[in-house]
Amino acid sequence: MENILEVKDLNISFHTFAGEIKAIRGVNFELKKGETLAIVGESGSGKSVTTKAIMRLLPPGNSEIKQGEILFEGRDLAKLTDKQMQKIRGQDISMIFQDPMTSLNPTMTVGKQIMEPLIKHQNMSKSAARERVLQLLKLVGIPQPELRIKQYPHQFSGGMRQRVVIAIALACNPKILIADEPTTALDVTIQAQILELMKDLQKKN
């Protein structure tokens, strides 16, 4: 089976007042289509830095990919322009972040937030995007999607908010879904439900 993602000899540094901090040194891994890959390490070992580097979401100015390649379908993401990366981010590679509360915009309805990538990347009309949002809400196990589509994040529980974040990440049928500790902010029973949901979605999609 072919590799969809290859990270080769990745080295990332942060430039601080105290000097250079070598956050990632010589990281290598590969991901095949349909495969689940877990990156395991203690707190502060660089898991989030590695995944954010793949998405090119490291803070500009003080972070630097010193060497190495991040090959997605043969293209080195580290060498793409911001504009080229915008087309890949959300469409081909999506990410679920640790805390659903900070991932969602409190001033926008949940429906609008899931619609955004559909209109931006898939050029869908508003009515087609709305239908897709209803499908996604059902897919991630949110009941009464016709009602929920009009509601705001504060009207959802923590587990339901994380389901919304997963729906946004899945909106454009990405080839890679990165989950950065997606259950950390949730209680243990909800954590199990979210992980089961993700395994189920992987089988379906």
> For residue 34, which amino acid is it?
G
Query: Can you give the pTM of this predicted structure?
Result: 0.87
Q: What is the CATH number of domain 100-204?
A: 3.40.50.300
Long-range contacts of 179-182, Cβ-Cβ distance < 8 Å, separation of 24 or more: 179/95, 179/96, 180/47, 180/48, 180/51, 180/52, 180/95, 180/96, 180/97, 180/98, 181/47, 181/48, 181/98, 182/96, 182/97, 182/98
What does the domain layout of the chain look like in residue ranges? 3-80, 100-204
Give, for all 205 residues of the chain, the pLDDT tens digit. Answer: 789 999 999 999 999 999 999 999 999 999 998 899 999 999 889 999 999 999 999 988 899 999 999 999 999 999 999 999 999 998 899 998 877 778 899 999 999 999 998 988 888 899 999 999 999 999 888 999 999 999 999 999 988 998 999 999 988 889 999 998 888 777 888 888 888 888 888 888 7
Residues in the chain: 205
